[in-house]
Amino acid sequence: TRRGCGALTRGEVTAGTMRTATEDATISDLRRRLATAGAQVGQLQRELEAAHALKAELQSMKEAKLCLESEISSLRGLMSERDSTIQELRMQVHALEAKVSSLSTKTRVEVVSSFPQRHGASASSSTGMSPRQEAQQKPSQPIAQPPKQSTEESEAQEHQMRLLKRELTSSQEESKRLSQLLEQESEKRRALQRRLAESQSQRPAPAQPAIPVRTNAAPEGQDEKVKLLRRLDGRIGRLEARKQSEEAAMETDLLRLRQQVRSLEDELAHKTARLEDAEQMNRRHAARVVAREPPATSQEIAGMQRAAAVAKEMSRLQMLDPLSASAIQQRRGQMEHLRSRIVSIQASAAAEATARLLTGQ
């Protein structure tokens, strides 16, 4: 029997079925690779964010380390100055002690020499007279007093030595305090260095993206398919980046609008409270007028004027609040429109790639 003009043979039907199955398998493979690439992009973004956070932490730790080093150097300078001051004070104390001891010895010698008791006793025994008779016969002589100047000088030196000892004690206490503070700062620096070393040792290695392995037994049109797949991946990556940037910008605008709405709501609540206070004042004033009480004071009149101003601002704010709500709704509509557009672009790109693959075969 002869075939009809538009009829297909069994071989052509089988070939078409096999071609359709191959195309379906290719499309599913492309979708699977696209999903894998999207997952890898998300993982790389997370690793990049973790690396940025780790870099910021390391920078802050380095800055803290530099601050601690500067503080330790300043503390060491203060310690050296304190040590030199303590050494000078010790030398002054030793010199003053030597001077005080010499002055004390000199004062004792002068006092002993000013009271010649042995000489007086020997003279009375040689004359054979009693000391009272000898004192009556001798003219009255002034009794020698110890030198006041040497005593006052020694007392002044002792007072200065006590002051220097007190200052030396306070300097030693300050030196101990600075030593403890230096030890604490050194401990902080060692802890910071340990944390820095641990962070550097625990830094994750950058993950390499999985590259599909090409076999040698590929068909003739495999190179073109790979090129198309790479081109499609690049286009989808650009679209994803654009989508993320647009979403970030919209989220920023949404946060800003929410902050504005929150501030307007706070202002509305504040002015509502003021309006209620003004209304209560107006009601009290009306009650006084009805009861034929004396007129309102200047403060109450000023309060009523403020209430009128608040009412005017309230009306303006009520006009502004719906505009903010409509702006937020418009932003949300724009975001939904952008998402639907990205989905349609991805679908058209996939259809275009499939058509190219079909024409290539």
pLDDT tens-place string over residues 29-85: 777 888 888 788 888 888 888 878 888 888 888 888 788 778 777 777 777 777 777
SS3 of 35-78: the string is HHHHHHHHHHHHHHHHHHHHHHHHHHHHHHHHHHHHHHHHHHHH
H or E segment and range at residue 188? helix 148-201
Tokens of 147: 């030198």
Residue spans of the domains in the chain: they are 55-114+149-201, 221-360
Q: What is the pLDDT of residue 6?
A: 44
Q: What is the pLDDT of residue 36?
A: 82
Q: What is the pLDDT of residue 178?
A: 73
pTM, entire model: 0.29
Tokens of 236: 């989808």
Q: What is the pLDDT of residue 121?
A: 44
Q: What is the pLDDT of residue 110?
A: 57
**Residue 108 in contact with residue 151, Cβ under 8 Å?**
no
Q: Which residues in the chain come in under a pLDDT of 50?
A: 1-7, 115-127, 130-132, 134-135, 137-147, 206-218
Burial (Cβ within 10 Å: 0-12, 13-18, ≥19) of residue 310: buried
Count of beta carbons in the 10 Å neighbourhood of residue 37: 19
